[in-house]
Amino acid sequence: MDPKSPRATDASSQVDLTVDMAGLKLRNPVMTASGTFASGREYADFLDLSRLGAVVTKGVSLEPWAGNASPRIAETASGMLNSIGLQNPGVEAFVARDLAWLAGHDVPVIVNVSGHTVKEYAAVVERLDAEPSVAGMEINISCPNVDAGGMAFGTDCTAAAEVTRAARAVTGKPLIIKLSPNVTDIADIARAVEAAGADAVSLINTVLGMSIDARSRRPRLARTVGGLSGPAIKPVALRMVWQVASAIELPVIGMGGVRTAEDAVEFMLAGATAVAVGTASFVDPTATIRVIDGLESFCQETGVAHVSDLTGALVL
């Protein structure tokens, strides 16, 4: 079916794709992964945004961030590394330009938030809380904590809880904490942010990695290390989603290498309420729509009436 046309109501289709996630009612459980879809405008040429469960935007910070030096990406086996460095124009420009555009597109908007300090995170969340078109916020705690020597907030239970509490104090909107996989025990971090007032968690962010050009003896990324994404990380992501979903009561948004409807089903079986498609959109700009249509067919074929029945239905 043409990914650009709105889905016709199909009388024979009895599958209920809607999901409730942290107080948000989503058309279907498929969202975009932050940083891989900008604010949707670039992909509106290829698909109808209103078909998506939600658009999760690129990370937004208080002030503009210039990002890292180039090269910023490297293709690796079944995946890619990136060190974009959260380049963004700052929250005011985002609200004026991107959010204003997205607001007219009949799709829940979840804004991904970056910060270097707890105060910065809270300031962005407070600013976005004032915007009616923001359905929810996703806090990227993989950012370096400037006050703690650059170690990511998300690698420490205390720092992760502190960011969560500060964000919770300034918004009543759904608050999703995005977890980093680069930790010893991701379930510990999940429990810490749950106790600090999060409404949901999303995982996984990219896996820290490195690529070297043997001939020049140089790292392929200007920043030497970067985040791995794509099909290569799916087994790691599934394991972590399963661990976290078993450890906390909050809904989980699963991501990491989702490319097909079956990938999405696997994440839901592992305990995810919703999923996000990231790197796959670079390869196929209509990947999100393929996953949505494929989920519906999967449910029809396998006799699943509500897609949410898949959540946590792993047979052990």
Interface pattern 29-48 for ligand FMN (x via CB under 6 A): ----xxxx------------
- State how far the Cα of 176 lies from the Cα of 65, in Å rounded to an integer: 22
Footprint on residues 232-261 left by ligand FMN (CB under 6 A):
233, 255-258
- Residues between 70 and 89 with contacts to another protein, criterion CB under 8 A: 70-75, 77-80, 82, 84, 87
- Does 86 engage in binding with ligand FMN (CB under 6 A)? yes
* Residue 178 makes contact with ligand FMN by CB under 6 A: yes
Is residue 143 annotated as a catalytic residue, yes or no?
yes
Q: Which stretch binds another protein (CB under 8 A): 104-112, 145-153, 202-210, 274-282?
A: 274-282
59 is a site residue for ligand FMN (CB under 6 A) = yes
Place of tokens 């010893």: 184
The nearest distance, CB 83 to another protein, in angstroms, is 10
Is residue 261 within 8 Å of residue 298, measured between CB atoms?
A: yes
* Number of residues engaging ligand FMN in binding (CB under 6 A): 25
1 is a contact residue toward another protein (CB under 8 A): no
CA dist 86 and 235 (Å) reads 25
Residue whose entry in the numeric block shows the structure tokens 């990219």: 206
**Residue 102 engages ligand FMN in binding (rule: CB under 6 A):** no
Antiparallel, parallel or unpaired: β 207-210 and 225-229:
antiparallel
Q: Report yes or no: 189 and 163 within 8 Å, Cβ to Cβ.
A: no
- Is the sign of the CA dihedral 56, 246, 142, 148 positive or negative? positive
209 counts as binding another protein under rule CB under 8 A: no
Q: Are 140 and 178 in contact (CB under 8 A)?
A: yes
List, by residue number, the catalytic residues: 143
